[in-house]
Structure 1
């Protein structure tokens, strides 16, 4: 089936609704589970394994994203989406039946295997159904789902665990997923082109080994100790094997067009930088509010939610802006907003009000939403129909990889600064974030710790600012033209 046939789909609004439902299902997963985790740990135990509940989901999701993208180009969007969504829903059901933390982690890994298909394929399906001129606005609607999920997820999770069994936190996705799949069965035709291409199993194995070793080392660096070095070495060797295989493969996992086309390259590198810069805010702004300013978890969450609100608003706006200006202007404007918002964090001081931190997060969110959406639309409108799936998946994979790299880099910057500034204290951030820990400290010692932690976090924000300037450089590589 050709692209023209897909673009001629009638009742496209039902396809859009189906994609928004599936995107909501994936977006709400992290926030709703995070709210329920204290209750789950109380019943299942295993607090020491708490981090793996989230890390294993993100790990298996990231590993499978590019593989699903390639399969979608070979087997058809709808077929591969159903495989991924089916795995996700089955994993969700199994998570609700977990009898121990070990089983929950295993089922979360299974859930992540399916989640890797949802985000890239919903965006690819929308790109197939809507012509280039309309894609920007419609992708903005998809992005708005994240803002809704950021607000609805925690509230829904808290309500469910308070009035019902925690298993419903996972099972609530099942009817949403089924409705989405039924709508696609009815209104979206199969989009598979006739092809004799085969899946690159060797390249897929090299990719899975590289990403698994790298993300495990980054996400679990503190708990793994010296094993982090071993995993990093494995990631380097596997990455070299992947590059060598891709160079000589007749069917590379990532099309050569990604590396040879300026727009596709800019979209991938730009999203990697956006993902890295985002973690400077997502991971460390709450630390500032609770640790340095002495705010509550609710205040920290409210400030961070402003970024989730700014992102979809800017994504929707960027669609119209692209149509009146160009890809490059919109990407550059988003990059400048990202730079401005990150620079605002450098002005934070110990007496700064929480609303200022929230305003900074909102400006950063608008910059990220505008830039990320523009990069994605430019990539989808540049890529040919037969490689659009893997090109879309590669952009999202780059953002996930950037998030992991950013978390590791900025965590290292923070720890290094704390080691230099507060060598006499063990885990000073944990001490000041705990109300009981604060009370046990002498006023002079507390003042010293807060001052040095603030300086250390400022260096984290400096790194975020440098990365934000990188996105501005990448925006210069996208075309000076409107979607057409």
Structure 2
């Protein structure tokens, strides 16, 4: 390989890492800023929708972007999605109500579906399996950098500027990433007939949107046991079943189900689903616990999340070296154990535990995510040819995103139901939106001591149910990992 080619690979890698940073920092900054956003815009009962709306659109589009990248090439699809993401980011900053912010997060999520899968696929194209295992350490360092800078930037913005800038900070970084990919990535010409599975794409988007809406809004906009609920659920399942039927007969399917016949890919994708649930449970509600129950400022709440994203790249770097030697099962099993340990620590956390306990628990979750995600991505990309690499990578990302969305719905429902149950049991005429008063120091000062204690106790107890649910999914993840065949990384390179 010539020095010029190696230089271009390095510059492409830097551009891809910058794009991944934009996606990664979005989670840490917004999670840190959410208490301040909720305090200004109100509507704590819609808190989970800020995450769910973004995740819904990024989830239903990720498979489509992955397939389009295989058909039209990585660059044009990457540019289209990232442009939509940046437009959505700009609009989010102009929100004046929770409903408006939810709408703009939908637009942002529509573009966000392209970032992680296509960036990871580009790396899969320009590096071999053995190189990928090592390069994952660099990619995962993005999480460490975003973890350190994201909460700090988010906390400083909330404290000294305005929460709107947590969305606008994405714009210059995204433009730099696009420029790097445009100038330095040169793709091979696609020498095959272009076939777009429009019917499959439409069925996938409609069925998943309906299912995710049922998950998120069930129990709020309509009762779970109601006519609307049953119609929505049956319609979504029917359309998804039709999607599977269509895909099995499509000439060039949006989702090539043949890759799922590989047991390593099958169980890796299932574990990605359950770890996605865990990830959203921790990242969404840990700042709420630290801010509302421990009475810490936003910047401290952000640093507790930093620990998770520092553990992630450290573990990922180690996994890259261990994977070639020991195989997917051993590395992912160690990750599953770490997830269980971190979840147990969260279960035993309370208001007097302090931020260090929260950070330590978060670190173990990060280690588990780093070990599992790295081993799965490297294995999956090594098991398929280039013309299916985009779809295979996107399928894994889809499962994690789907887990994020399902998790946001589950944890939102668990938290709201627990809070309302406690208020009813205590005979208090409170709603979930009363929790808004715990989100900042200024709002807490306006609440009487007795009411403040009642609200904090209720939030503490309710979040314990959230962490018990996180533990349940950590155990399920470990059990699924036990089904992964033992052995070395599957290699199928044709770069």
The equivalent of 1:156 in structure 2 is 153
**Which deviates more, 143-152 or 102-111?**
102-111
Q: 1:15 Cα shift?
A: 0.8
**Which deviates more, 311-320 or 145-154?**
145-154
Is 1:185 aligned to 2:186, yes or no? no
Contact 2:43 2:433 in 1 (8 A): no
* Match runs of 1:203-214 below 5 Å: 203-214=200-211
The equivalent of 1:142 in structure 2 is 139
The equivalent of 1:387 in structure 2 is 388
Q: 1:150 Cα shift?
A: 2.8
* Match runs of 1:383-462 below 5 Å: 383-412=384-413, 424-425=425-426, 434=438, 435=444, 439-440=449-450, 453=462, 456=465, 459-462=468-471
Q: 1:337 Cα shift?
A: 1.5
The equivalent of 1:121 in structure 2 is 118
Structure 2 CA distance for partners of 1:450 and 1:95, relative to 1, 3 Å: closer
* Match runs of 1:310-321 below 5 Å: 310-321=311-322
The equivalent of 1:480 in structure 2 is 488
Distance in 1 (alpha carbons) for counterparts of 2:312 and 2:144? 7
Contact 2:28 2:283 in 1 (8 A): no
Query: What whole-Å deviation, never above 9, does each CA across 1:182-201 have from its counterpart, x for those lacking one?
Result: 22222211245322141111
Distance in 2 (alpha carbons) for counterparts of 1:289 and 1:396? 29
Gaps of 5+ in 2: 439-443
Structure 2 CA distance for partners of 1:429 and 1:47, relative to 1, 3 Å: closer
Structure 2 CA distance for partners of 1:191 and 1:270, relative to 1, 3 Å: farther
Contact 1:77 1:191 in 2 (8 A): no
Distance in 2 (alpha carbons) for counterparts of 1:26 and 1:451? 30
The equivalent of 2:170 in structure 1 is 173
Distance in 2 (alpha carbons) for counterparts of 1:108 and 1:230? 27
Report SS of the residue matched to 2:266: helix
Q: 1:30 Cα shift?
A: 3.7
Distance in 2 (alpha carbons) for counterparts of 1:170 and 1:183? 22
Report SS of the residue matched to 1:11: helix
Contact 2:70 2:388 in 1 (8 A): yes
The equivalent of 1:61 in structure 2 is 58
Distance in 2 (alpha carbons) for counterparts of 1:53 and 1:280? 14
Distance in 2 (alpha carbons) for counterparts of 1:431 and 1:45? 10
Is 1:468 aligned to 2:477, yes or no? yes
Query: What whole-Å deviation, never above 9, does each CA across 1:228-249 have from its counterpart, x for those lacking one?
Result: 5543333222222212222333
Distance in 2 (alpha carbons) for counterparts of 1:157 and 1:400? 23
Query: What TM-score, normalized by structure 2, do the two folds share?
Result: 0.83
Distance in 2 (alpha carbons) for counterparts of 1:264 and 1:241? 23
Q: 1:102 Cα shift?
A: 6.0
Query: What whole-Å deviation, never above 9, does each CA across 1:113-134 have from its counterpart, x for those lacking one?
Result: 2221111110000011111101
Contact 1:327 1:482 in 2 (8 A): no
Q: 1:271 Cα shift?
A: 0.6
Query: What TM-score, normalized by structure 1, do the two folds share?
Result: 0.84
The equivalent of 2:441 in structure 1 is none
Query: What whole-Å deviation, never above 9, does each CA across 1:54-77 have from its counterpart, x for those lacking one?
Result: 433222221111000001111111
**Which deviates more, 229-238 or 364-373?**
229-238
Distance in 2 (alpha carbons) for counterparts of 1:45 and 1:81? 35
Query: What whole-Å deviation, never above 9, does each CA across 1:233-272 have from its counterpart, x for those lacking one?
Result: 3322222221222233333211122221112212211211
Distance in 2 (alpha carbons) for counterparts of 1:447 and 1:162? 23
Report SS of the residue matched to 1:193: coil
Contact 1:266 1:477 in 2 (8 A): no
Gaps of 5+ in 1: none
Contact 1:78 1:191 in 2 (8 A): no
- Count matched residues: 478
Structure 2 CA distance for partners of 1:359 and 1:398, relative to 1, 3 Å: same
Distance in 1 (alpha carbons) for counterparts of 2:154 and 2:291? 22
